[in-house]
Amino acid sequence: MQKKALVLGATGLVGQQLVEQLLADEQYTEVRIVVRRAWPGAHPKLKVQQVNFDQLADYAAFFQVDDIYCCLGTTMATAGSKAAFYRVDYTYVVEAARLGLAQGARQFLVVSSVGADAGSPFFYNKTKGEMEAAVQALGYPQLKIFHPSFLDGDRKEDRQGERIGIAVFNFISKMGLLKSYQPVTDKTVARAMRLAASENNLGNTTYNNLEIVALGREK
């Protein structure tokens, strides 16, 4: 079965890897991305739409695809405020999911986070948990949520704290401790999402960090 895919967050770590992999995947005849700024490069299968994420509904027709991959996400440091963070990690994600379902998408695959919990006292985890609950309530035929730990990859911006955390958790996981929190590469998460899209499990499925590593590992 040949399908069309849409990627949100295509300029991020996982999103970039995902676009590259989807373009090489023969089951997809078309890969669409929505971006704020011009996309560098072209491909026969790639369709690019520059958007204002605050007005996603204006681009509803672009969401007429089979599978939607959502890798949207920011940090408090980048967002600058809780309100701005919430707008990216909750509002944009839920609106994209809503638009996709209304346009006939059958599957929504979204990157969340370890510790996502709507009842958490921590704003980051709480936001991720609320996003998951809102997307689940939409009733997608297939919803797949991914809970990666620290993301390891070549970031454009310097996140010294994150780099230190990755090094520490890599060391700890090699010692056999806290293995479920071992850092995972952007390529591994992207591959896990792409392969999970072919799994015909209906309803809501959540992949924890160890499951992401196992599914996305290069054979």
Place of tokens 């090489």: 24
Kindly state whether residue 162 falls inside one of the protein's structural domains: no
Q: Determine the Cα–Cα distance for residues 46 and 56; give it in Å rounded to an integer.
A: 19
| Contact of 46 with 54, CB cutoff 8 Å | no
Question: Concatenated DSSP letters for 145-166?
Answer: EE---SEES--SS--HHHHHHH
Kindly state whether residue 176 falls inside one of the protein's structural domains: no
Q: What single-letter DSSP state applies at residue 177?
A: S
Predicted local confidence at residue 179, as pLDDT: 67
The 10s digit of each residue's pLDDT in 13-71 is 999 999 999 999 999 999 999 999 999 889 999 999 999 999 999 999 999 999 999 99
Kindly state whether residue 90 falls inside one of the protein's structural domains: yes
Predicted local confidence at residue 219, as pLDDT: 64
Domain containing residue 103: 3-152+185-216
Q: Determine the Cα–Cα distance for residues 83 and 88; give it in Å rounded to an integer.
A: 9
The 10s digit of each residue's pLDDT in 130-181 is 999 999 999 999 999 999 998 876 655 555 555 555 454 455 445 454 567 7
State yes or no: is 59 an active-site residue.
no
State yes or no: is 128 an active-site residue.
yes
CATH code, domain carrying 80: 3.40.50.720
Domain count of the fold of the chain: 1
Cβ within 8 Å of residue 208, ≥6 positions away: 114, 147, 180
Kindly state whether residue 170 falls inside one of the protein's structural domains: no
Residue among 128, 140, 144, 187 flagged as catalytic: 128
Cβ within 8 Å of residue 191, ≥6 positions away: 17, 21, 215, 216, 217, 218
Q: Alpha helices, DSSP H only, in 36-92?
A: 76-79, 82-86
Kindly state whether residue 97 falls inside one of the protein's structural domains: yes
The 10s digit of each residue's pLDDT in 169-188 is 455 445 454 567 788 999 99
Write the CA distances from 20 to 11, 76, 80, 91, 216, integer angstroms. 11, 28, 30, 26, 15
Q: What crossing angle do the helices spanning 186-196 and 209-216 adopt, rounded to 10°?
A: 80
Kindly state whether residue 62 falls inside one of the protein's structural domains: yes
Residue among 4, 124, 179, 181 flagged as catalytic: 124
pLDDT band, very low/low/confident/very high, at 103 (cuts 50, 70, 90): very high
Kindly state whether residue 159 falls inside one of the protein's structural domains: no
Kindly state whether residue 158 falls inside one of the protein's structural domains: no
